């Protein structure tokens, strides 16, 4: 299911805090969600020691959205915000209808009340969209922080157990991110997601039913980026 608003997970600071904690064994907190002080085993409660010299990459945003828990919780969040998306869509339709009437009006007497209505509807739309987007982003980040706090130990342990001495996040592509290029052979996203799914015990979400004769599109683990479109055209002055 496509996200209703821009799905940009605030994970850079969270991961940096966690990795620093894994190095020092001290607790870290970022984005309002406490992270574990370090990935630990049941017996020693000590962070894994990186003894390997291989380099691995992971798309953390993709891992959070692609694990079973992420698909379930982000999907539930999208469902929760559907009424607000519908509200925005209806407001946009009203705006477009008023603009159509304005274009057809031939006198200033007929145009003046329409211009006023359009300005009021435009303000209501922008206010509703901003409030909904902010609310959605906050709740989305809460979900991401909660999952990351549990996935980070799995991520670091997998890297240490498999001889990796450096783990890089490829969520953002260069120049926004630090990784210019990396081959699929060093990407451990799928392996970490599989390990986390096994640990979390959350079952895979059911596949959506497809229409008869339709061909299923490949599923991606990268969160879609979409947001409610602003009303087309410009507000008359």
Q: Which of 6-20, 114-128, 147-161 has the lowest mean pLDDT?
A: 6-20
pLDDT tens column, 29-80: 333 344 444 344 444 456 666 677 899 999 999 999 999 999 999 999 999 9
Q: Count other C-beta atoms under 10 Å from residue 62's C-beta.
A: 21
When pLDDT is averaged across residues 192-200 and rounded to a whole number, the result is 97
* Residue 43 and residue 61 in contact, taking contact as beta carbons nearer than 8 Å: no
Phi, psi (deg, nearest 5) at residue 34: -70, 135
- Note if the bond before 133 is cis, omega within 30 degrees: no
How far from 21 is each of 25, 48, 73, 217, 221, CA to CA, in Å? 5, 12, 26, 40, 27
Locate the domains of the chain by residue range.
Answer: 12-38+47-200
What pLDDT was estimated at residue 79?
Answer: 96
When pLDDT is averaged across residues 215-227 and rounded to a whole number, the result is 43
Q: Which two tokens stand for residue 30?
A: 């970022």
Percent of the chain with pLDDT over 90: 61
pLDDT tens column, 125-181: 999 999 999 999 999 999 999 999 999 999 999 999 999 999 999 999 899 998 999
Query: Rg of the chain over CA atoms, in angstroms?
Result: 23
């Amino acid at each position: 299911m496509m996200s209703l608003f821009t799905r940009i997970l605030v994970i850079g600071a969270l991961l940096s805090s966690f990795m620093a904690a894994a190095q020092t064994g001290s607790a870290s907190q970022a984005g309002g969600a406490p992270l574990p002080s370090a990935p630990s085993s049941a017996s020693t409660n000590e962070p894994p020691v990186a003894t390997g010299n291989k380099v691995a990459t992971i798309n953390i945003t993709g891992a959070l959205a692609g694990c079973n828990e992420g698909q379930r919780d982000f999907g539930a969040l999208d469902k929760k915000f559907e009424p607000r998306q519908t509200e925005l869509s209806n407001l946009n339709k009203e705006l477009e209808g008023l603009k159509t009437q304005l274009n057809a009006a031939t006198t200033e007497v007929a145009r003046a009340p329409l211009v006023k209505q359009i300005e009021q509807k435009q303000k209501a739309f922008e206010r509703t969209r901003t409030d909904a987007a902010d609310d959605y982003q906050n709740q989305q980040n809460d979900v991401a922080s909660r999952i990351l706090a549990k996935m980070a130990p799995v991520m670091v342990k997998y890297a240490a157990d498999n001889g990796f001495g450096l783990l890089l996040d490829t969520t953002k592509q260069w120049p926004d991110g630090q990784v210019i290029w990396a081959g699929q052979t060093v990407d451990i996203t799928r392996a970490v997601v599989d390990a986390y799914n096994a640990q979390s015990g959350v079952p895979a979400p059911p596949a959506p039913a497809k229409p008869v004769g339709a061909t299923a599109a490949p599923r991606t683990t990268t969160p879609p980026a979409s947001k409610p479109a602003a009303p087309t055209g410009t507000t008359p002055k």
